[in-house]
Structure 1
């Protein structure tokens, strides 16, 4: 008797004959395996090896590789094969204790700007002006993100004192003279507008990861609130909880 639609493995979210046939899922497995070292990032990606590794079909592997080439993650070169071109970078979810490996900060703008209700509420201040520093986040000479940070004008240290990959515990200590406390994080996404796309070297409408973070000291006093925009094809956020 032939299977009914409801009995078919794909109708239940499964795979035909137990195999992984979803190109989307194979794509996820390929990228995660490369990032975590299960697949050598510098070696050509052979279709036959991937078919065996993930117990999938050749068609699913080809579709997954095509999707990854479209995003710029892979490149197919004559006589060389398919190789990884942009693995991207892992950024800690809150940047508190872990450095963003190979991510450097380049100051783009530093000035005093008029305050506004959102920042006054988040920072619990009643000041007419706040200090704003906008940074470019760079790795391997590519701009992967933008950060706009707002904080009280009473903090007058120069950002030049901070360089290289650093975490927010260090920033809070050396720039704000504070010990880190609670961190509030909001994650979202948006399409790149023309100005942001130009700064990030991507296309208008490209997906961006949007992260808003407010950092507090040990006494629960807000220190700064930041707005981050990362290239969705270059950055992955990573965090853990106990």
Structure 2
């Protein structure tokens, strides 16, 4: 992975680029934040200095900074300046089955989602096998970007049998809350975690550089009667999420504290 460029990189902005200059500047600053050149609580140079350093108007700088403030990457302190915001860092225990929204609220963070797509379609062969469906049976697919305090944390694709969730538009917040309301509460789950690097598309959605380390997660959720309920594939930012497993020494048989599969 290439190192992030310096702050006043002459190649960061180009009049030949069709994107407006403020968007180019915002993209450059976003990459510096994601790459660690601009760290949490670092002060951004004054608006006038940024305008002179990039040879743009102060209006352009103001619009770029405001865009990053709106994204939660920068925050402004009255009479003090503009600073890099602290990204939420989450530790999730793997001994309890909870959804993303529940995890974030339990840590004092406000969960939200940006929908990438919601649809109903025939299950793929893999989905049919994992969910115990007949070939051609339909599923609801929920693909979204998950955020905590407006900071992108994970990309999540959830697949649920359409007979369980006939209308994916019902889900506006917590999927598990909707499933409980429909009489299908998730009871247990198996998760598989692996390390990987984000593709260009994944990194673009999460607003980090391509090749950023991430946690790749597959989860299968089940009803109390053992029937498959949900199949999830997620990509979590490796710099913002830790998964914690409590292990107990057993004197008899092995009793794991978590049902995670690695």
TM range (shorter): 0.5 to 0.7
Give the structure 1 partner of residue 232 of structure 2: 226
Partners in 2 of 1:114 and 1:75 — Cα distance? 48
Give the structure 1 partner of residue 86 of structure 2: 85
**Compared CA separation, residues 197 and 173, structure 1 to 2 (3 A):** same
RMSD between superposed Cα atoms in Å = 3.3
| Counterpart pick for 2:166 among 133, 152, 156 | 156
1:70 lines up with 2:80 in the alignment: no
Secondary structure of 1:144's counterpart equals: strand
1:110 lines up with 2:111 in the alignment: no
1:182 lines up with 2:191 in the alignment: no
Structure 1 unaligned regions, length at least 5: 1-68
Structure 2 unaligned regions, length at least 5: 1-34, 45-79, 105-109, 247-256
Deviation, structure 1 residue 108: 2.1
Q: TM-score, normalised by structure 2?
A: 0.55
Secondary structure of 2:225's counterpart equals: coil
Secondary structure of 2:184's counterpart equals: coil
Q: TM-score, normalised by structure 1?
A: 0.59
Partners in 2 of 1:114 and 1:91 — Cα distance? 33
| Counterpart pick for 2:141 among 128, 132, 136 | 132
| Counterpart pick for 1:145 among 146, 154, 165 | 154
**Compared CA separation, residues 94 and 172, structure 1 to 2 (3 A):** farther
CA contact (8 A) 1:104 1:138 kept: yes
Give the structure 2 partner of residue 216 of structure 1: 222
CA contact (8 A) 1:94 1:185 kept: no
Deviation, structure 1 residue 75: 4.7
CA contact (8 A) 1:182 1:218 kept: yes
Deviation, structure 1 residue 89: 2.7
